[in-house]
Amino acid sequence: MGDSAIIRKSGQRYVDVATGKTIDACYPDEDGARRGCLAEKYELIRSEFFDIEVDVVTDAIQSTEDAYLRLHLLSARVMKPNSMRLDGIFEMLPAIAWTTAGPVFPQWVTKLRTLVASEFHHLIVLSVDKFPRMVDYVMPSGVRIGDADRVRFGAFLSEGTTVMHEGFVNFNAGTLGKAMVEGRVTPGVTVGEGSDVGAGSSIMGTLSGGGKRTNSIGNGSLLGANAGIGISLGDNCIVEAGLYVTAGTKVRLPDGSVDYARNLSGRDNVLFRRNSQTGVVEALPTSEHGWGGINDALHANNE
């Protein structure tokens, strides 16, 4: 992290009328932009404008408004994953029922459903969670998202990224260049330019098992379908489909010696595979021809 980053922003927050507690906050990038919803119309929540100033690098999160600011900065590509203090964010984010009539505390869902029925609005509860969908707060340019429910606010998606329907990107995680995401990108994890996170695959993040290790995938690498890693991959690496490589996985090297996978973390040009005859996990040099790379036409920004 850097020494400091003082951010000053104007925002709009929703406040629960009954308790006076902040529900969420948004930070529109356009002057004069605002939002409204039926929950506000029926006075379950109220809207307020406010100003905030915080050092997002050195200061701990102080409020719900502060937490939403840091999530906004990530999804708006102002700050990269792992560049801000996010400790304590769960305590500052209330659990919210995200509905088609606006966000409310879960205990008000039945009342809200009854109130909006007079307008023939069939209330749908999209989720009950601490994090909303990213696209309801920030719409980054040049990305494709198959299912918006699977990209949380606070995800960092670079231009040219495609998140397919089964892909999932959590907060404080994302892509640092055009990439294909068909698996799970968990908190703290970054995926480099030209890499593919295969269908059903997963990358162990900073919240997995309470660990502090920050894993990543470099440029031009492939995490195969239903594979997983608990280590980092460097550039031009491949993990065979269905193989999960944890830090403690014992790996046979080209010279016949055996080492722990954690000692190969971050190395370039490594192919991890399971020998189909012996069942031994091997680490071999990748082919000079690579794995073919992602489809440039698929990831082109043709807005």
Report the alpha-carbon distance of residue 62 to residue 235 in Å, rounded. 38
Report the alpha-carbon distance of residue 51 to residue 28 in Å, rounded. 12
Q: Distance between the two ends of the chain, CA-based, in angstroms?
A: 34
Annotated catalytic residue, options 182, 240, 282, 288 = 182
* 91 catalytic per annotation: no
Half-sphere exposure of 169 (CA within 13 A, CB side): 36
Q: Hey, which residues are catalytic here?
A: 182
